[in-house]
């Protein structure tokens, strides 16, 4: 009986696959069979086959030994490490990572058979030369803290048409179990959004293994992308343009109810569940009839809607709407909120006669769960946890019982009222 170790293979280095042999006595009846077996040399098969060109980077290098066990596998791939795994019976080795494009590989393997007879075989092949390449980038900062509404955002340098292949190449790891989905905003931006807000204090990472992935006909990813970030304490704001009050929920409890003043008629603050984008103290705000530096300003739309200190409208806050579209608060309240806010904190505006505009900010929470699922060609659910993620059918996932505003926004939150 043979016992085999499982080892990876480094490019340009022969790695022995250790063998430990045990022997047992034979009887006269198996002497003939043993002799016949001893006369057979090991036979090696290597895929991809010798002389092939245009091999896809996702192809698996397979080395198989018949009438023996693998002893060494040597891969020369221009310096690339090619890791793999040996089968339990020691007869098959398979690579476990993508190959590089425009690269020539030579695989040389040795097998050991009965009576320590050996055989060696090799195969040389070339991977595809792409018509073009794409790369991915992310706005997520390393170990940066984000709010509970923050999606993972990936941007691509080339339009992606084979979107399912890209989605399958990305794994998400989270310290707490999360149910979510991928959503394409056009052909160059990909979001991952949880079904409900992230659990606070969750550690998240993603690994986009895009090197060699064909994102469009003849267009391949040229590198991998990974990042790690954190979800901070839950900070959620709900603003009513009708009541003129803002409810602030911190660490999953109602923390404050503050009087505010939102956009006056004609400059109405639009409905929707937005996410905080950035902040400044002060921010220079310019518009019709004004140019002023505004303290303690937290932005949640690209068009320039902020929650900010409005010392000039304290008398109207809680009573009427007088702003140019922003959410006015008192200096003390604005400072308190500003010091806690990070990108990705949810801000829901309701009661407005004006609907929210898609892409005016990070507006992925405008979407219902069903709409979110429709934004992926796979229409699958992503189940992420401490051991990575997997794709599954929505029918295999239990219904969510989360409630607004602490776990998710109200339905149809971006519609005019």
Residues across the chain: 417
Task: Say whether 22 is catalytic.
Answer: no
- List 308, 324, 379, 401, catalytic entry: 308
Neighbouring C-alpha atoms within 13 Å toward the C-beta of 27: 1
SS3 of 193-260: the string is: EECCCCCCCCEEEEEECCCCCEEECCEEECCCEEEEEEECCCEEEEEECCCCEEEEEECCEEEEEEEC
User: Which of 169, 23, 11, 189 lies closest to 104, judged by CA?
Assistant: 11
Enumerate helices (H) and strands (E) in the chain, giving the number of each: 4, 34
Helix (H, G, I), strand (E, B) or coil at 101: coil
Task: Say whether 308 is catalytic.
Answer: yes
- List 4, 74, 244, 326, catalytic entry: 326
Main-chain dihedrals φ then ψ at residue 364, nearest 5 degrees: -65, -20
User: Which of 121, 130, 128, 129 lies closest to 49, judged by CA?
Assistant: 121
| Residue 87, number of CB atoms within 10 A of its CB | 15
Catalytic sites, residue numbers = 308, 326
């Amino acid at each position: 009986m043979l016992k085999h170790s499982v080892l990876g293979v480094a490019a340009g280095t022969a790695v022995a696959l250790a063998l430990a042999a045990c022997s047992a006595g034979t009887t006269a009846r198996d002497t003939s069979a043993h002799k016949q077996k001893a006369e057979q040399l090991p036979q090696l098969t290597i895929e991809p086959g010798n002389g092939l060109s245009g091999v896809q980077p996702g192809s698996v290098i397979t080395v198989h030994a018949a009438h023996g066990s693998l002893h060494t596998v040597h891969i020369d791939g221009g310096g690339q490490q090619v890791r793999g795994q040996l089968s339990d019976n020691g007869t098959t080795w398979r690579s476990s990572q993508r190959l590089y494009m425009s690269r020539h590989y030579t695989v040389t393997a040795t097998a050991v058979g009965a009576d320590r007879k050996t055989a060696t075989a090799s195969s040389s092949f070339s991977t595809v030369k792409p018509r073009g390449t794409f790369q991915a980038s992310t706005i997520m900062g390393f170990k940066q803290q984000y709010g509970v509404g923050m999606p993972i955002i990936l941007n691509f340098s080339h339009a992606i048409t084979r979107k399912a292949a890209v989605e399958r190449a990305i794994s998400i790891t989270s310290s707490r179990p999360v149910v979510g989905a991928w959503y394409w905003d056009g052909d160059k931006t990909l979001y991952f959004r949880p079904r409900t807000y992230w659990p606070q204090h969750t550690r998240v990472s993603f690994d986009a293994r895009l090197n060699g992935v064909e994102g469009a006909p003849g267009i391949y990813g040229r590198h991998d992308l990974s990042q790690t970030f954190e979800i901070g304490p839950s900070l959620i704001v709900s603003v009513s343009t009708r009541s003129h009050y803002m409810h602030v929920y911190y660490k999953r409890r109602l923390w404050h109810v503050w009087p505010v003043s939102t956009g006056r008629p004609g400059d109405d603050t639009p409905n929707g569940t937005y996410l905080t984008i950035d902040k400044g103290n002060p921010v220079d705000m310019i518009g019709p009839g004004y140019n002023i530096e505004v303290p303690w300003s937290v932005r949640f739309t690209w068009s320039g809607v902020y929650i900010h200190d409005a010392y000039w409208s304290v008398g109207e806050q809680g009573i009427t709407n007088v702003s140019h579209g922003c959410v006015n608060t008192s200096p003390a309240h604005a400072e308190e909120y500003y010091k806690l806010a990070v990108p990705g904190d949810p801000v829901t505006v309701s009661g407005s006669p004006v609907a929210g505009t898609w892409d005016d900010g990070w507006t992925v929470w405008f979407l219902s769960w069903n709409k979110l699922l429709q934004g992926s060609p796979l229409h699958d659910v992503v189940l992420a946890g401490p051991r990575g993620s997997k794709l599954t059918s929505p029918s295999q996932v239990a219904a969510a019982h989360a409630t607004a505003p602490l776990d998710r926004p109200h339905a149809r939150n971006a519609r005019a009222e």
